[in-house]
Amino acid sequence: MPKPPPAITLVDAKEFLKISSDSTDVELLGFIEAATAAWVKRVGPVLPQQFVDTIGLPRPGLPLTKAPVISVESVTVDGVELAPTRWELDPDAGVIDVDGGLTGRRASVHYTAGYAPDDVPADLLLGVKLLLRHLWRTQRGAAKAAGGGEEETSASFLWPNRVEEIARDYRLAGFA
């Protein structure tokens, strides 16, 4: 899978982490990429990204692994492209319903999923920022969260509970 586009900018990340120096910019960019990749892998894309899903048949429809789906470039069954009039997309659920169901051995769907840059939900962006903060702080050892008393003492976990609470609303049912 190609590298996903960064979910947040370096400027936004530095503001969220309260970093004023430029000395860690290169390192921080790597952490932005890591937080974005972890989010995409576990929850789904933030910004538009292309995917190809291969799905075993027969079945009545095609459940895609990423949502929201922005567009479907092609649907093929055993190498033969289906006409767009044969299928209908539910973009939020990430499911393609096929008129008359599907037979054959394998379907392949080329599609784009994610949110337009101006339409990314604020809580989803917050989830990515919180994940970034967790990754950034834990690589430096124990740190107190600003204003709280919540202690982050170990890098032994990737996915903090607070991030999971946000991610829960964006994860597709049936996919972990």
Output 54 or 151, whichever has higher pLDDT.
Answer: 54
55 with 108, same domain: the answer is: yes
151: pLDDT strictly greater than 50:
no
Does the pLDDT of residue 51 top 60, yes or no? yes
Q: Quote the CA–CA distance of 152 and 45 in Å, as a whole number.
A: 27
Question: Is residue 34 domain-shared with residue 53, that is, in the same domain?
Answer: no
Same domain, 69 and 104: yes
102 and 130 both lie in a single domain? no
Residue at 83 is within a domain? yes
Residue 61 lies in domain: 49-113
Q: Is residue 69 part of a domain?
A: yes
The model carries a pTM of 0.81
User: Residue type for 134, please?
Assistant: H
pLDDT at residue 105, rounded to an integer: 87
> CA-based Rg of the chain, rounded to a whole angstrom?
19
Over residues 112-150, the pLDDT tens digits come to 999 999 999 999 999 999 999 999 998 866 544 444 444
Neighbours of 22 (CB within 10 A): 10
One domain for residues 39 and 68: no
Would 25 be classed as within a structural domain? yes
Residues 65 and 147 in one domain: no
Task: Let me know whether 138 and 126 are in one domain.
Answer: yes
Asked whether residue 60 falls in the same domain as residue 107, the answer is: yes
pLDDT of residue 127: 96
The continuous run of DSSP H or E covering 88 comes out as: strand 87-90
Residue 18: is its pLDDT beyond 70?
yes
Instruction: Give the Cα-Cα-Cα angle 46, 48, 50 (nearest 5 degrees).
Output: 115
Are 125 and 38 within one domain?
A: yes
- State the DSSP H helix or E strand holding residue 42, giving kind and residue range, or none if neither: helix 25-42
What is the reported pLDDT for 163? 94
Looking at the chain, how many residues does it have?
Answer: 176
Domain count for the chain, please give it: 2
Residue 176 in domain: no
Same domain, 90 and 35: no
Same domain, 95 and 80: yes
- Sequence-distant (6+) residues with CB within 8 A of 159 are 38, 42, 131, 167
Confidence tier at 76 by pLDDT (50, 70, 90): very high
Q: 36-51: b or e for each residue (b if 16 or more CB lie within 10 Å)?
A: bebbbebbbbbbebbb
What is the structure's pLDDT at 142? 52
**Is 174 part of any domain?**
no
- Indicate whether 54 and 92 sit together in one domain: yes
Q: Is 2 among the domain residues? A: no
